[in-house]
Amino acid sequence: MAGKLLIARHHESEWNKKGLWTGTRNVPLTPYGFQKSADMGHAIQGISIDTAFSSMQVRTIETLACMLMALELHDVPVEHARELNERDYGDYTGKNKWDMKKLIGDEEFERVRREWDCPVPNGETLKMVYERVIPFYQKAILPLLVAGKNVLVVAHGNSLRALMAYIETIAPEDVKNIEMLFGSIVIYGVDKEGRMTGKEVRQIASEVPA
């Protein structure tokens, strides 16, 4: 029997709080982010975790550490992978999202944030994120699930949206409807191809201006 895949978005970073596009920048959690990351750990109490993954970015590393500490799991093997890093927002990195929304207009703003293949200057599209996340999932994570291991993955809004698109077999034109909320833990059962056979969402109360 395949193991469970648990995916979670890092909690509030200092730039989330300011409404800035963070992308590839290494920005730590706020005190609120640390507190809520521990709450996310408590939300999955009772599910054994055999191994865990995060991106190479500090906000996911801190979130994962808080979750495991809350669960009193001190010996879980952890791997940090650049393939799980957040989308590179290129020239938009560090810009205030709401100022950019006024500058480029509501429609273009939503396209940049949500659509499958909308470019940003010198950055990545969600399609490009998918093209690095899914091979890593298939190579490094799926064999553990097939072997019956429960795996926790803490990553970012866009790298997780890409992963969810594959797991849930969502067409590119529908990817804009995928949302990975702060404070959500999505628990999947998967088949040998890594596609969804079951889904549960656990959500803690979160208020993040992102």
Catalytic residue set: 10, 86
Of 73, 76, 63, 64, nearest in space to 29 by CA: 63
Q: What's the CA gap between 106 and 130, in Å, rounded?
A: 25
Q: Which one-letter amino acid corresponds to residue 176?
A: K
Of 65, 87, 83, 37, nearest in space to 206 by CA: 37
Of 152, 137, 177, nearest in space to 63 by CA: 152
User: Tokens 């293949």 belong to which residue?
Assistant: 117
Burial 33-56 (b: 16+ CB within 10 A, else e): bbebbbbbbebbeeeebbbbbbbe
DSSP secondary structure, 13-67, as one string: BHHHHHTB--TTS--PBPHHHHHHHHHHHHHTTTS---EEEE-SSHHHHHHHHHH
| Phi and psi, residue 186, nearest 5° | -100, 130
